[in-house]
Chain A
């Protein structure tokens, strides 16, 4: 088996390169050189299987509104949030409701015909277009002032380890799904692995030097030369590691609980670990775009910690009149709202490094779902809850649109970053351009 492929990229600069401060050079965030302009950020949070509309959408419209049960945990952020009712994913074509739901959610374009069969309908493949998070990432990465080390980070929470239409929300292009990183330790290693490796390496070098001493004594003077040359390189490596050490202090490295396995019951823990890493990636300006994907479309998390024993997807198919099931679904969505609220809280508590206000002042969270309602697979009234002031939308309101296409919201997100696209996804659904009434 190959040795851990994705380490290559960041290990290239383990600190042994000829440049004396490779660490510095690879992390554009360090000097905050690019912070002249205000940083804007976007987090898309996905949770699956629709919501219970009457427990989700505020009744009122405008800036006076009451949060329903599902959204109660977001109460502290009411002034900084928008609920967008009436936004509909109108994309048609191949694939079942769930597939179209997740595959067209951020891409706004049809799925390719393919070989993946859902419950009914026709089989389909991957989405046929780029997703909005990747589109904005490309836009930001194209500009040296907004370029970051990763451009975007895709977090997963218990996304099953397989690649199909139901497990991907993000696309780098047509037929090019982007896989989320499901394992917080892997994400940690992606973000800070090099640094940790340097520490580890440094701690063995002393002992290694002793090996050279002992072995040199046992060899003839002619042979000693090669070993001494080698030992000299080891010393140089140590010096370079020491040199780069000072730079690491600028990084706030999160502490993660050890050995949390990817089990259903660890979902709350993993969610928090990923959130911790996400916030950190913003602090260190590793990225300005992130997605957080909870399970997958048709996901079947069993939220035993809420006293819900059934899988989420099974529950989402129960009829409206099944009060018990609807209550459970409301609790499930309330739990997701709680996780979003926790993310918002963390961002609000963290000052913007080198800038003004908090991270939340410069970040927009978009919490969404592939379905409006689970039991009819409707993609009308697809949930979109926005929190934070990153894109300067006029927050603190409950908005109700009359069945507008979700492509227009995607356009609004791009425009929020100054990326003034005329259309995004399928142009037929981009009607009158970005949504009106957001700003």
Chain B
């Protein structure tokens, strides 16, 4: 066997696997026990005799022979089987049966398993900087008026007042709430109490941003309009003077999961026609009328949003974290700091709650900024720190505004603000800063800061109470929502489009509706009193507007707003079979069991697959017109080099075969009934079979591997550190409590927050 072909062959076993769960018990065997382990000694002997020359004494690899380290997630039996069949390369017959088992046993314990790896290369809690999201959220919370808290009520739509005159006099239709702003009155008046040629309307309330990003706000009207959004003093769009139909647009950066004050003034005067449409374009999506779901009649406080562009955070380990700095990043921080300095210095009096005429003005400014810095750093400042961060600037200068600018820039640029996991563990300021980061991606709020400053956070019952309170805050919900989108990896669906010939109605508008529908499903699950993880797999509900209902041929109450519809449970199961997700994990014109299988294997089961050594072009469906997708995939992945991964991937993807390229439920493909049977071999070696989405979903909901993977993913997403860094048993404990708490995601996040305040594991 040629060397390179053998290497290809061997690489197929290299499943990387992080979720170590089952292996934990093995590595903590005391050394004396190990010494008595006969099999271990036997394996070791054979390894050094037959394997080490190519693989290195610790499986690290040998240059020009086999340089990839031996790390993976195969079970002992699989590993033994593989060694038996392929190793050593000169003569695979040389190490078979019990000998191969012994080698497998040895390398698994010594270095192959993730647990062994973590012993060889200890993982620790690392100092990390705020991620981009954490920076934005922290700034928003640091600067926004803490008094005004948004009330998210169940009512949707905007408060509307209709006036007889063009300048908002003589209110005619009191107490009205309009679902969304999409009216075409033509040449008529909106109401019998109003005239045709002159009237005005004022809509007020708040806009909820479902996701973080740059929104395009678009108004289409031939009449006079002014729109205020998240700034009550300056209109975002001023189109008061009108000459014929036009689209007025602008962009605004919003943080997801928050509500923003909105007011729209509209008037008609002697123009022939009157109509108004208030639309948005979410990041990377089509323009659409802002759905009622995202409008509420209540007012909200303004939020300070940093809109600077940042370079993306590191994601090389599969989760976003703040483990590196760059010049571009520092630049973005600096620009933001200057923006914030501008913002505050322009609103000095409001911010300080005092006027320059006040006799103790300077003192008031000082104490306000002590408060500001203490909040930013979530710690009590001593006199030296007060001087360093605040007083020196104020005392040095006659220009208070300039002094304030300096204080702000210093604070935002300071490592005390930008870094987390720096402080001493057990210190209340460190505890607060960790839990607020884990639960909110933010700095502590006033309430939490209070128990830091008075030192009581060190008491376990106070900590417990704070975490309890914080996990119920909309900021925690926003964080879980962002995690869910990350978990589904919807980022990759950007610009989703399909074969126009086969699916002419699958347009940008439909894709945007799908995204909203998915967001609503996620909200539905995570905003419940008990955010049951199993609903992600089991819920038969879909949110549909008439556009989606028509496309997916699902009956709903005809309505252009989104309503919850329960569909046949055999045909839909949770967000993993949401049409957006199914269409996202599919090819241009056909389904893709491979994409779906990889998603399930990697993300849902937490198994790490290596990409194929060579890039492989998928077989074009029309080259094999008589094959079903399932047959085609089987055919293409039949070669030896593919099998080891694809025997895991394909049978996970097949149960979703009923969903075509656009996520519609189909029972036939090319005139043949669809075969949606599949299977999964668990890490423990048990093979489970399922037919169709429902059976698959039920297995996922109950699988301990899936639970473990979810716990680990949520941990890494929220803490930005690997769970192993907090001790070997933490993951297992978290999974246990997850099960005990009946899979409540919010409870899980709570437990994660508690783990995060522990220190490093012992070395």
A interface with B by C-beta (< 8 Å)? 1-4, 7, 11, 14, 16-18, 112-117, 122-126, 162-165, 175, 177, 189, 197, 200-201, 203-204, 207-208, 210-212, 215, 218-219, 222-223, 226-227, 229-230, 233-234, 236-237, 258-259
The answer on a CB contact under 8 Å between A223 and B338 is: no
Is B416 touching A211 in the complex (CB atoms < 8 A)? yes
Q: Which residues of B approach A to under 8 Å, CB–CB?
A: 124, 126-129, 166, 223-224, 230-231, 233-234, 238, 240-244, 246, 252-253, 267-271, 302-307, 323-327, 330-331, 334-336, 338-343, 346, 356, 388, 392, 399, 401-402, 405-406, 409-410, 413-416, 418-419, 422-424
A-B contact pairs, 9 of them (CB 8 A): A11-B339, A14-B334, A14-B335, A112-B243, A114-B271, A163-B240, A223-B126, A234-B330, A258-B401
In the bound complex, do residue A215 and residue B416 qualify as a contact, i.e. CB atoms below 8 Å apart? Answer: yes
B307 touches A164 (CB 8 A): no
Question: Shortest CB–CB separation between residue B738 and chain A, in angstroms?
Answer: 30
Q: B220 CB to closest chain A CB, in angstroms?
A: 15
Please tell me which one of the listed residues B230, B336, B405 contacts residue A1 in the complex, with CB atoms under 8 A apart.
B230
Separation in Å of the A10 CB from the closest CB of chain B?
11
State the CA gap A203–B238 with chains docked (Å).
39
Establish whether residues B327 and A233, one from each chain, have CB atoms under 8 Å apart when the complex forms: yes
What's the least CB distance linking B274 to chain A, in Å? 10
Supplied contacts A114-B243, A219-B127, 19 more A-B pairs, CB within 8 Å: A3-B342, A3-B343, A4-B342, A7-B339, A7-B342, A14-B338, A18-B327, A114-B242, A115-B166, A115-B267, A125-B242, A165-B241, A200-B406, A200-B409, A211-B414, A226-B128, A227-B127, A233-B327, A258-B401
CB distance B269 to A227 under 8 Å?
Answer: no
- Shortest C-beta distance, B529 to chain A (Å), equals 34
In the bound complex, do residue A226 and residue B241 qualify as a contact, i.e. CB atoms below 8 Å apart?
no
B422 touches A218 (CB 8 A): yes
Closest 6 CB pairs of A and B: A125-B243, A112-B243, A1-B231, A3-B339, A223-B127, A114-B243
Cβ-defined contact, B252 with A215, below 8 A: no
Residue from B305, B323, B338, B340 in contact with A11 in the complex, judged by beta carbons closer than 8 Å: B338
In the bound complex, CA of A11 to CA of B336 (Å): 10
Query: Which of chain A's residues have a CB closer than 8 A to the CB of B126?
Result: 222-223, 226
The contact of B341 among A124, A200, A237, by CB within 8 Å, is A200
Smallest beta-carbon distance A101→chain B, Å: 16
Q: Are A237 and B388 in contact (CB under 8 A)?
A: no
Shortest distance between the CB of B743 and any CB in chain A (Å): 35
Query: In the complex, what residue of chain B is closest to A174 when comparing beta carbons?
Result: B243
Residues A115 and B416 in contact, CB atoms below 8 Å apart: no
CB-based nearest B residue for A224: B127
CB pair A126–B241 under 8 Å, yes or no, is: yes
**In this complex, what residue of A is CB-closest to B144?**
A1
Given A2-B307, A3-B343, A175-B243, A11 contacting B335 (CB threshold 8 A): yes
Contact B253 A201 (CB under 8 A): no
Judging by beta carbons under 8 Å apart, are B422 and A114 in contact? no
Chain A residues closer than 8 Å to B267, beta-carbon distance: 115
Contact with B243, one of A113, A197, A218 (Cβ below 8 angstroms): A113
B residues less than 8 Å from A4 (CB atoms): 339, 342-343, 346
A356 to B613, CA, bound (A): 72
Q: How long is the Cα–Cα vector from A226 to B326 in the complex, in angstroms?
A: 10
Q: With A3-B342, A114-B241, A114-B243 in contact, is A233–B399 under 8 Å at CB?
A: no
* Inter-subunit contact B410/A208 (CB<8 Å): yes
In the complex, the answer to whether B127 meets A226 with C-beta atoms within 8 Å is yes
* Bound Cα distance from A7 to B342, whole angstroms: 9
Please state if A16 and B338 are interface contacts (CB–CB under 8 Å): no
What distance in Å separates the Cβ of B417 from its nearest Cβ neighbour in chain A? 9
In the bound complex, CA of A3 to CA of B269 (Å): 34
Contact B406 A203 (CB under 8 A): yes
CA distance A146 to B356 in the complex (A): 45
Q: Which of A164, A175, A197, A230 contacts B338 (CB 8 A)?
A: A197
Chain B residue nearest in CB terms to A198: B338
Interchain CA distance A162-B265 in the complex, whole Å:
14
User: Could you say which of A126, A207, A218 has the most chain B C-beta atoms within 10 Å of its C-beta?
Assistant: A207
B271 close to A208 (CB less than 8 A): no
- Nearest-neighbor residue (CB-CB) of A18 within chain B: B327
A222 touches which of B124, B307, B414 (Cβ 8 Å): B124
Task: Given A117-B270, A201-B334, verify A226-B342 contact (CB < 8 Å).
Answer: no
Q: Is the CB of A163 within 8 A of B238?
A: yes
Please judge, given known A-B contacts A115-B268, A207-B410, whether A212 and B334 are in contact too, CB under 8 Å. no
Instruction: Choose one: A3, A113, A162, A212; the contact of B415 (CB below 8 Å).
Output: A212
Asked if B305 and A117 sit within 8 Å, CB to CB, the answer is no
Q: Which residue of B lies closest to A223 (CB)?
A: B127
Nearest residue, chain A, Cβ from B128 = A226
Partner of B323, one of A201, A218, A226: A226
Q: Is the CB of B413 within 8 A of A204?
A: yes
What is the CB-to-nearest-CB distance from A25 to chain B, in angstroms, rounded to a whole number? 16
Are B230 and A215 closer than 8 Å at their CB atoms? no
Tell which of A1, A16, A208, A227 touches B304, judged by Cβ atoms closer than 8 Å.
A1
Bound together, the chains give a CA A201 to CA B416 distance in angstroms of 18
Task: Name, among B238, B409, B424, the residue most crowded by chain A CB atoms within 10 Å (CB to CB).
Answer: B409
Shortest distance between the CB of A22 and any CB in chain B (Å)? 11
Give bound CA distance, A18 to B252, whole Å: 28
Interchain nearest-CB distance for A183 vs B (Å): 10
A208 touching B330, Cβ below 8 Å: no
Report B-chain residues with C-beta under 8 Å of the C-beta of A162: 238, 240
| Contact of A211 with B269 in the complex, beta carbons under 8 Å | no
Closest beta carbon of chain A to B295's beta carbon, Å: 19
The answer for the CA separation of A258 and B401 in the assembled complex, in Å, is: 10
Known A-B contacts A218-B422, A226-B325, A230-B415; A200 and B268 likewise in contact (beta carbons under 8 Å): no
**Contact indicator A211/B415 (Cβ below 8 Å):** yes
Complex-state Cα separation, A226 to B224, whole angstroms: 54
Cα–Cα distance between A16 and B270 once the two chains are bound (Å):
53
* B398, chain A: closest CB distance, angstroms: 9
Give chain B residues whose Cβ lies under 8 Å from the Cβ of A258: 399, 401
Nearest residue (CB) in B for A218 is B422
Candidate in B241, B242, B419 with the most chain A CB atoms within 10 angstroms: B241
A410–B499 alpha-carbon span in the complex (Å)? 57
- Residues in A with CB closer than 8 Å to B304 are 1, 3
* Contact A227 B419, CB 8 Å, known A11-B338, A201-B409: yes
Contact B230 A125 (CB under 8 A): no
Residue of A nearest to B341 (CB): A200
In the bound complex, how far is the Cα of B392 from the Cα of A164, in angstroms?
47
Chain B residues with CB under 8 Å of A223's CB are: 126-127, 422
CB distance from B516 to the nearest CB of A (A): 24
Chain B residue nearest to A113 (CB atoms) is B243
Chain A positions within 8 Å of B326 at CB level: 233
B324→A115 contact, CB < 8 A: no
- Check B240 against A233 for contact (C-beta < 8 Å): no
CB atoms of B230 and A2 under 8 A apart: yes
Output the residue of B230, B306, B414 with the most chain A CB within 10 A.
Answer: B414
